Structure formats: structure tokens, C-alpha cells
A and B are shown apart, each in its own frame.
Chain A
């Protein structure tokens, strides 16, 4: 048996630090919102001429007076992603850009993707993203509140908040882009983290009913160990699937799979070191469970 409970305090401290740092990052550095949430235009193009590179493209686009332009490589050496604010949202901007690029590069490029999100739509998408995440947290809270005693609910929800905040913190730290698929990833993380916590909690509660003489500090550790191989196997297979998406699923899914990978790692960690320690700190005992059982 591994003595997870020996490090409860250490990891609680670490998690607190992680959360505080993440919050500070989110407040002061903020998130790098993509055009879905900030508005603007994105163009993905593929070049068939080595003359076309980041700097030559940047030169071209800067001459077109499109506001703040960012040009980046996108996966291959021949693929580029161009983003700009497109403030006055003129209707034929893409046509203008094409004419302009034709002049310097001829036919040696191909526009593969265009996304254009107006300011009104981006504001709405951001709002619905925030609502979706809040709603999912609220639903999880209600679900766990129906299924378990309040001490368990508190532990699970704290673990959830930890996972969401720290994952977003990592995105802020490295300036990774937040777009619609990241919202999908965060929601899935919420589901996964909850799943992981619930499996351990289920065992804790079962053991609480079984043993009256074991303190919660020990009991959580027993439960974690009993469910440990499941925790490891499930996170391993999920991570294997996610790594396959990350490395082979193409550039578009990179951000999504990275967020999920982070979420699975944090979710697994928080089930053990946050959710359970809340039970310990709230001195949950057999009485807590039995009292609740009597009510039913």
C-alpha cells in the first residue's frame, strides 16, 4: 500500500500555490483569446514556393493596413496561419488579400481555410462559453449533492475548480490560444475529473460503512489504494487516446488535445490530493454516512 496520506499537507500546499499562481496569471496576464472570442479574421494558407515564408508573408500583410497582423507557421513548413483584427470588417477583404498576394506570389499559394468572426458574434460566443462552463459546474454540484453527503460534494467541487483553474493557468502561462474547442475540452475535463473523484468517493463511503474503527485519514488512503489500479489504467488509456490525437490528429486538434491531456493529469491528481483531503479536514466519519442513510 502506498502512503498517499503522508503527503496530504504537502500537496495541499502545492495545490494552493498552483491555484493562487494560476489566478494571478489569469488576472494579470490574462488569456490569449482566439478570433472565436476576440473577433477578427484567420486565414490558413499553404505555399508551394519556398519564397513564401513567415517574414515575406508578414511584409505583404503589413502593407495591406489590416491592423495588428500575426503570421505563424502552422504544423508543416509550407503551412501558415495569418490572423488580424479586421476592425472595419469590409465585405471583400479576402478578395483584396488574394489580389494582393497574387501580385507578389503568383499562383504559388492556396487559401485552405478562412474564418471571420464579427465583434457581436465573438461576444456572444464568449458569453455562451462562460455560461456552458458555469452550467456544467452547477450541474455537477447538483448531481453530487444528490448522490453524496455535503462534505463529499464540497471536496469534489473544490477538485473541479482546481482542475479548471490550473488548466486555464497553464494556458495563460504559455499564451496558448483559447478557442471554441478549448471550451469543449474544459467541459470534458469537468466530466472526467468528476468521474475520477466519484469512483474514489464511492469506495470511501463503502468503507466508512464497513469499518467503524478506522479514522478517515487512514480510510481515504485505503480507498485510494483499492481503486488505484483502476485510476492508473483508465487515465493511461485515456492519455494514450489523447496522445494519439495530439501527435497524429492534425494541427487543428492540437490545442484541444493538449488541454485534455493537462485536464486528465490534473483531474487524476486532484481526485487523490484535493477531494480526499477535504474529507479528512472536515473530519468525516461513519456517523456522517449513517446519519444520511437514516434520513433515506
Chain B
């Protein structure tokens, strides 16, 4: 058991050196793709923001149902089937049918190849569910219908979020889906998290609509507040142009009026509509509405056929820049709410790194001194193993470009403390064996063999805890699970290969010594 072949020694040495090299690539620059890897620092160490956004799908559902009532009404009108009193209540569409038509209406909804109620051929479930409640029928989204709706609004939202974050220009943002209605945004090293937060918090739904006094406007009217929250105006629901018609938007300085404005250019459709509206509406007030609030409502003086225009509204240069950015990147399909935020400033991150490193150095020293005092030469072996173990652990983390967090550093320190356990189990066992075994080599053999189950058990239990933490924990805590888990494997490697190599060399050279350990 104590014998190590030359090949094996070579393998162990190469393996250790390789990982030490990989680990040291964190300190030096290597001109090599393989070696030039670095451990990623978590947001808690390098500073940055972690934002969890939740999409509020209620308005989307309302809107879709609104559209559906029109579709349903038109569909049955074409088929000469009478439905009436169609209305939406509490996310359900209700309508009345006559006794004669009822079955054909139900058939339309339940037909597997229905063109009014799709999805069945693909998902084995319709988009809509219909409930038979007498002559009044109830229609709402099926589970599949809701899932589809949510994932599609998530897809749209993540695209817009990505555009907005990119426009601000942070380095290497991480934008990920979470579930079917959440988006995770990780922004390392951000100077001004407030700005991103306020940018992501806005839907940026822009519309141009006329101010009207005609209560009987055939599109309906609504009272909207101005941005300042004081004044109010009655605005038609008829949308002249919306944010979708914008090709570009830029902040500009209007030298004549000496104010900052946002100038915009429209696409072809938008330019046409804008031209027509401004030619018929000279003298009227055109309200520029953003997310249900009026930014400004200038009076139309001239026909604007050029397809470009400007928005003024008492902006500072910063607010104009942000508005232009929002308009360029497009409107979110639904409002987003920041439901979790964790921001760490770069100073604190650096302080945490320093504290973690000092704790690691001190913890390491204490353990090394303790082991040397207790076991002398075998303590020395353990300590060398421990150092190599630390490098291999760092090497593995570097190789996989794992993310190191503050709890992750704690996990490394804890690994140092617990890594000696296996060696201690072995050494103590050897001591016991030596009580009734005079042959040193046999005693060492026995020590290694008989302690194996205990060592395996001990490491498996810790590994189980680390695995659960990895899957259940979030962010920084996950980093702890990673270092703790990886630490178990590197510890077992260094104990069974490196430490055993050293002990075998030492024991075979001192096989006749009286008190070996």
C-alpha cells in the first residue's frame, strides 16, 4: 500500500504543478488561452448591483382580453352566429348566446384545429378555456395560454432591458430569465445604480394624442395629469403616433429657447400620420404622454411633414438623455418592479477582499502552527499538503472561472480547518496500530486502510450539505457551497496522493525507528 510507482509520482507531481500554475494565473499575466484564466469576483467583492425584476402581467392580460373581445365579436359576426352583451369582468370574457347557437359556439372553441382558439395541435391544450354556464358563456385563458402569454412578454421585456442596460454602457452585465415572469440583472462595477434603477422602472410607453374638450370624442377621452402632478388635461384616447413609430431619439440643446429638448425622427408610417394630424389639427394642443403622464402639450403651429420633431418639457440634460435612451430602446410590454436589490459599493468590496485575505492568512497560520506542534514531522507533511491543497482548490476555481464571493472565502478558510481531519484520522489510527504492531510499514498500511470508511463518511456528509446549499442558496451563499464542495475533492486528492506519498517516503526511510509518530 505504501509503494508508489514512478509513474504515479510523476502523475501526482504534474497534476499538482498544473493546478498551482493555473492558480497563479490570477496573479500574473500569461500569454496563453488555457492559463490566462481568472477567478471571477462576486458582486459582493468587486462591487456592483444585483437586481431582480418582476413583470407585472396584469395590464398585458387586460389588453389581450380587450383585443380578444373584438376578435370574438367579429369572428361570430362573420359566421352569422349571434352573440351579444360581450364584456370583461375579473379577467374573464362573458357573452350571451341563443339556445340554437350555443352548441356551434362551443364547438368553435373546443375544435382541435380551431382558428379562433389555437395551440391545441402543438401543446395539446387550447389557448382559451370556455365554461358552460347556461346561456351566458365564460371564456378565459387556459394554463397553457397564460404560460405562453407570460413567456412572450418576458422575452420582449428581457430584450428591452438588455438594450437599456447596454445603452448605459456598463461592463459585462449579466441578464437572465428567472421563472416565467422575472428577470435577473447583475451589473458589476456600476458607478450609479440609481440611474439604471430608474431607467428599468419606467415602461416608456410614449403616445402623441390631441387634447380635447369634446366629451363625445368617438375614441373616448381620459383625464391625465402633467408630469409635475399639478395640472390636468382631457386627452383623446385616439393615438396619433406612439413610441413604436420612432426611429431615433437624441437629446439636444435648443439654442433659441435655451433649453434641453429631445429630438426624434419617425418611420414612414409615423411621418405620414404625424403630417396628416398636424395639418388638420393646427391650433390644437398635442399632448405628449409618457406612461400615463403628460410631458408637455404644445400647440400645433405648422404642418410637420418632415418626419422629425422635438419634445420639450423643462428637461435637464440628464433627464433629456435618459428619455431619449428610453425612447430609442423601446417600451416594455408591461411594467417592471424591482423586487430585490443588493448593491455593494467598490470600497466595501475591496474592504471585504482584504478582510477575507487576512482571515485566510491568519486561519491558515494558526492551523499550520497547531499541526506542527502536535505532530512534528507528520505535522509538517500535513502542512505541505495543506498548502498544495489550497493551491489546487484555487486552481480548480480558476479553471472553471468560478465566482468567488465573501462567503466563498469563508468556505476556503473552513476547508483549511476541516481538511486536516482526514490526515488526523489516519495518523491517530496509525498510532493505535503501532500499539500492537511492531512493523512500522504494516502499521501505516493498517492506519490508511482502517480509517478509510470514516473519512469517506465524513466527507460525504459535508458534500451532501454543500450540494443542497448549491441548489437552494442564492448569490453569495452559492459561492460558499462551491468552495466547500470543491474543497472536499481537493482535500481527498491531497490526502490520499500527496500526503500519502510523503508519508510513504518518510516511513520507508525510517522503518526501524522506535517512536515514529
Q: Which residues of A contact B (CB under 8 A)?
A: 44, 46, 91-92, 94-95, 98, 110-118, 120-121, 125, 128-129, 131-132, 135-136, 139-140, 143, 147, 180-181, 183-184, 187-188, 190-192, 194-195, 198-199, 202-203, 226-227, 229-230, 233-234, 236-245, 247-250, 252-253, 256-257, 260
Chain B contacts of A239 at CB under 8 A?
417
Contact B363 A240 (CB under 8 A): yes
Q: How far is the CB of B58 from chain A (nearest CB, A)?
A: 15
Q: List 16 A-B contacts (CB under 8 A).
A: A95-B194, A113-B348, A114-B193, A121-B339, A139-B464, A180-B473, A188-B469, A191-B461, A194-B461, A199-B458, A202-B454, A241-B416, A244-B363, A249-B409, A252-B406, A257-B410
Chief secondary structure at chain B's binding surface = helix
Pair B370/A240 contact, Cβ less than 8 Å: yes
In the complex, the chain A residue whose C-beta lies closest to that of B358 is A248
* Cα distance A243–B459 in the bound complex, in angstroms: 22
Interface residues of B (CB under 8 A from A): 44, 52, 54, 193-194, 197-198, 201, 337-345, 347-348, 351-352, 355-356, 358-360, 362-363, 366-367, 370-371, 374, 406-407, 409-410, 413-414, 416-418, 420-421, 424-425, 428, 432, 453-454, 457-466, 468-469, 472-474, 476-477, 480-481, 484
Q: What residues of A have a CB within 8 angstroms of the CB of B347 in the complex?
A: 46, 110, 112
Report yes or no: A234 in contact with B418, Cβ–Cβ below 8 A. Answer: yes
- Tell which of A131, A147, A199, A245 has the most Cβ of chain B within 10 Å: A245
**Minimal Cβ-Cβ distance residue in B for A233:** B424
Instruction: Report whether A115 and B341 are in contact in the complex, using a CB–CB cutoff of 8 Å.
Output: yes
Interchain CB contact (< 8 A) of B201 among A91, A110, A113, A143: A91
Do A117 and B340 touch (CB < 8 A)?
yes
Contacting residues, chain A, for B407 (C-beta < 8 A): 181, 184, 253, 256
How distant is the Cα of A154 from the Cα of B338 in the complex, in angstroms? 46
Query: Cβ of A198 and Cβ of B413 under 8 Å apart?
Result: no
Residues of chain B within 8 A (CB-CB) of A203 are 454
Distance between Cα atoms of A211 and B224 in the complex (Å)? 89
Q: Which residue of A lies closest to B479 (CB)?
A: A184
Find out whether the CB atom of B371 lies under 8 angstroms from the CB atom of A184. Answer: no
B469 touches A184 (CB 8 A): yes
Report yes or no: B462 in contact with A113, Cβ–Cβ below 8 A. Answer: no
Distance of A209 from chain B, by nearest CB (Å): 13
Contact B461 A195 (CB under 8 A): yes
Quick one: which of B362, B453, B464, B480 contacts A244, CB cutoff 8 A? B362
Contact present for A91 and B362 (CB under 8 Å): no
Is the pair B432, A250 in contact by a Cβ cutoff of 8 Å? Answer: no
Query: Residue on A with the closest CB to B375?
Result: A233
- Residues in chain A near residue B461, CB distance under 8 A: 140, 143, 191, 194-195, 198
Find out whether the CB atom of A250 lies under 8 angstroms from the CB atom of B406: yes
Residues of A within 8 A of B198 (CB): 91-92, 95
B291 to chain A, nearest CB (A): 12
Q: Is the CB of A248 within 8 A of B362?
A: yes
User: How many angstroms from the CA of A226 to the CA of B473 in the assembled complex?
Assistant: 38
| A237 in contact with B54 (CB, 8 Å) | no
Which residues of B lie under 8 Å from residue A94 when comparing CB positions?
Answer: 194
Please name the residue on chain A nearest to B461 by beta carbon.
A194
Chain A, residue nearest B339 (CB): A118
B194: chain A residues at CB < 8 Å are 92, 94-95, 98
In the complex, the answer to whether A238 meets B414 with C-beta atoms within 8 Å is yes
Contact B473 A184 (CB under 8 A): yes
Q: CA separation between A188 and B409, bound complex, in Å?
A: 15
Contact of A131 among B201, B370, B409, B472 (CB under 8 A): B472
Provide the bound-state CA to CA distance between A139 and B340, in Å.
31
Closest 6 CB pairs of A and B: A241-B417, A244-B363, A191-B465, A250-B355, A132-B472, A249-B359
Contacts of B463 in A (CB 8 A): 191
A261 to B342 Cα, complex, angstroms: 27
Closest chain A CB from B393 CB (angstroms): 14
Q: How far is the CA of A98 from the CA of B366 in the complex (A)?
A: 43
Determine the distance from Cα of A192 to Cα of B462 in the docked complex, in whole angstroms: 6
Q: B193 to chain A: which residues have CB within 8 Å?
A: 114
Q: A195-B458, A240-B370, A241-B416 are in contact. Are A125 and B432 (CB under 8 A)?
A: no
- Point out the residues of chain B lying under 8 angstroms from A129, CB to CB: 472
- Among candidates B343, B352, B458, B459, residue contacting A114 with C-beta atoms closer than 8 Å: B343
Q: How far is B341's CA from A44's CA once the two chains are assembled, in angstroms?
A: 14
Are A234 and B477 closer than 8 Å at their CB atoms? no
Q: CB distance A91 to B466 under 8 Å?
A: no
Question: Given A237-B370, A241-B363, A252-B352, 10 more contacts at CB 8 Å?
Answer: A114-B341, A125-B474, A140-B464, A184-B477, A188-B484, A240-B363, A245-B410, A245-B413, A249-B409, A252-B406
CB-CB under 8 A from B52, the residues of chain A are 121
Residues of A within 8 A of B359 (CB): 244-245, 247-250, 253
The answer for the CA separation of A227 and B429 in the assembled complex, in Å, is 9
CA distance A114 to B406 in the complex (A): 16
Cα-based distance from A3 to B474 in the complex (angstroms): 45
Whether B458 and A116, one on each chain, are in contact in the complex, defined by CB atoms closer than 8 angstroms, is no
Contact of A190 among B338, B406, B465 (CB under 8 A): B465
Q: Which of B454, B462, B481 contacts A184 (CB 8 A)?
A: B481
Given contacts A244-B362, A248-B355, contact A147 B477 (CB under 8 A): no
By a CB distance below 8 angstroms, the chain B residues around A118 are: 337-340
What residues of A have a CB within 8 angstroms of the CB of B343 in the complex? Answer: 113-115
Taking a contact as CB atoms under 8 Å apart, the answer to whether A229 and B418 are in contact is no
Shortest B342–chain A CB gap in Å is 5
B477 cross-chain contacts in A, Cβ below 8 A: 180-181, 183-184
